[in-house]
């Protein structure tokens, strides 16, 4: 099994590398493929170096990191809630993070780039307040956390927060409205190196916590009685894992906007390939999530004359998969 997982992870890395290579050579600014390697090693023109190091590479890296973060968050949430439909977008966590960023951006008269290191923290506060409210509403003292109730409550909060953002937009000036509108459509706007450094620590710490507590996440996924029976402090573990899932999703949302379904699809695909154990599924899900978002962004920027936001492409890919999961569960 270990050999199989190594092979799977290696193939996923090759797939990411191939997609990144395609992304490096495509886009509005021309950069021939035969000039990519020389430019990487310092033998390109000033224009080629600008296109590669200031436009293409940062966007590819931030897209990969954001996809990994959303996939990690989705894997944790599905384990915590014991619900395969759990996803930071569906549960309203993305909307909470976005509302936090929107409110902060609208009421502080500064450019987004000047407070970029605070963006993940602001998004985290908004997402954490949303997650806490969803948990409080859906938790029952007698039966504990009910997966279906948790999902439905999250959907309700997501719709309410989307309405709140529309109200906020109606009171804002044109420049800020454009920014919020881009965010709502999942248009990756934080495509510069400082945004990468702002997001990277959140992802690294979240991944380490997720992998360290993967076995406890396996037990939580089996149900509270099983976890309690083997000595797991269920409330504490759920709090730590929920906070971590919210934090990494918020960090991604802060720089990419509302990207749906990545956190839903990636853990499912990973579990189909490497099995349900989280110590195996989490690394695979992160690579799959990174590739999915990179592919969505690359497709959106090159298929039509007018670029499509990555969130729109992700919705086109993810919505049929979501419907399939509903059908599989017997909802239809």
DSSP 110: S
How far apart are the C-alpha atoms of 16 and 19, rounded to whole Å? 5
Per domain, the residue ranges of the chain are 2-328
On the 0-12 / 13-18 / 19+ scale of CB atoms within 10 A, 106 is: middle
Per-residue model confidence (pLDDT) at position 25: 87
- Tell me: the pLDDT tens digits for 86-131? 888 888 888 888 888 878 877 775 565 566 677 788 888 999 999 8
DSSP character string of 132-166: HHHHHHHEETTTEE-HHHHHHHHHHHHHHHHHHHH
Q: CA-based angle 299:200:285, to the nearest 5?
A: 55
73-83 pLDDT tens trace: 999 999 988 88
Residues facing residue 145 across a β-bridge: 139
CA distances from 266 to 137, 198, 282 (A): 28, 24, 9
pLDDT band at residue 239 using 50, 70 and 90 as cut-offs:
confident
- 105 vs 318, higher pLDDT: 318
CA angle at 73 for the pair 250 and 163, rounded to the nearest 5°:
50
Query: What pLDDT shows up at residue 260?
Result: 86
Nearest to 101 by CA among 273, 316, 255, 230: 255
Give the pLDDT confidence of 176-211 residue by residue, as tens digits.
677 777 767 677 777 788 889 889 999 999 999 999
pLDDT tens per residue across span 270-304:
999 999 999 999 999 999 999 999 999 999 988 87
**Least confident residue range of 48-57, 140-149, 200-209, 278-287:** 140-149
Judge: domain 2-328, CATH 1.10.3470.10: yes
- pLDDT tier, 245 (very low <50, low <70, confident <90, very high otherwise): very high
Asked if 263 and 70 touch (Cβ cutoff 8 Å), the reply is yes
CA dihedral 175, 176, 182, 188 (to 10 degrees): 100
Rg of the chain over all Cα atoms, to the nearest angstrom: 20
Residue 172 · residue 102 · CB < 8 Å: no
d(CA 43, CA 37): 9
How much of the chain exceeds pLDDT 90, in percent?
35
Q: Work out the pLDDT band at 241, boundaries 50, 70, 90.
A: very high
Most confident of 21-30, 32-41, 228-237, 259-268: 259-268
Mean pLDDT of 210-216: 94
Q: How confident is the model at residue 58 (pLDDT cuts 50, 70, 90)?
A: very high
User: What is the per-residue pLDDT for 191?
Assistant: 76
Q: What's the pLDDT at 45?
A: 87
The pLDDT of residue 222: 84
| Residues 84 and 258 sit within 8 Å (Cβ to Cβ) | no
Q: What are phi and psi of 89, to 5 degrees?
A: -75, -45
Question: H helices then E strands: how many in the chain?
Answer: 15, 2
Average pLDDT, the chain: 86
- pTM for this prediction: 0.91
> What residues have CB less than 8 Å from 323, skipping those under 6 apart?
332
Q: What is the pLDDT of residue 143?
A: 66
> Tokens 């999703």 identify what position?
249
Q: Residue 85: pLDDT above 70? A: yes
Q: Can you tell me the mean pLDDT for 262-271?
A: 94
CB 52 within 8 A of CB 21: no
| CA 261 – CA 314 distance, rounded (Å) | 7
């Amino acid at each position: 099994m270990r050999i199989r997982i190594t092979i799977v992870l290696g193939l996923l890395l090759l797939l990411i590398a191939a997609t990144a290579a395609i992304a490096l050579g495509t886009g509005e600014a021309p950069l021939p493929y035969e000039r990519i390697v020389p430019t990487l090693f310092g033998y390109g023109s000033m224009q080629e170096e600008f296109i590669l190091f200031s436009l293409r590479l940062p966007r590819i890296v931030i897209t990969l990191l954001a996809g990994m973060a959303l996939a990690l968050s989705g894997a944790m949430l599905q384990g915590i809630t014991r619900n395969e439909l759990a996803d930071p977008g569906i549960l309203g966590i993305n909307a909470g993070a976005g509302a936090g960023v929107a409110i902060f951006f609208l009421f502080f008269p500064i450019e987004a780039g000047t407070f970029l290191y605070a963006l993940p923290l602001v998004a985290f506060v908004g997402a954490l307040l949303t997650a806490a409210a969803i948990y409080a509403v859906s938790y029952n003292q007698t039966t504990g956390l009910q997966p279906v109730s948790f999902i439905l409550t999250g959907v309700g909060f997501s719709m309410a927060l989307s309405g709140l953002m529309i109200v906020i937009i109606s009171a804002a000036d044109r420049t800020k409205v454009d920014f919020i509108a881009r965010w709502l459509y999942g248009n990756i706007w934080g495509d510069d190196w400082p945004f990468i450094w702002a997001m990277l620590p959140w992802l690294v710490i979240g991944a380490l916590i997720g992998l360290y507590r993967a076995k406890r996440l396996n037990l939580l996924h089996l149900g509270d009685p099983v976890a309690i029976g083997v000595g797991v402090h269920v409330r504490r573990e759920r709090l730590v894992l929920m906070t971590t899932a919210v934090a990494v999703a918020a960090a991604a949302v802060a720089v990419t906007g509302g990207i749906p379904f990545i956190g839903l699809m990636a853990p499912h695909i990973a579990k189909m390939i490497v099995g349900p154990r989280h110590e195996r599924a989490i690394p695979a899900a992160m690579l799959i999530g990174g590739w999915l978002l990179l592919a969505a962004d690359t497709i959106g920027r090159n298929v039509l004359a007018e670029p499509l936001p990555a969130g729109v492409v992700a919705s086109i890919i993810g919505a049929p998969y979501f419907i399939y999961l509903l059908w599989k569960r017997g909802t239809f």
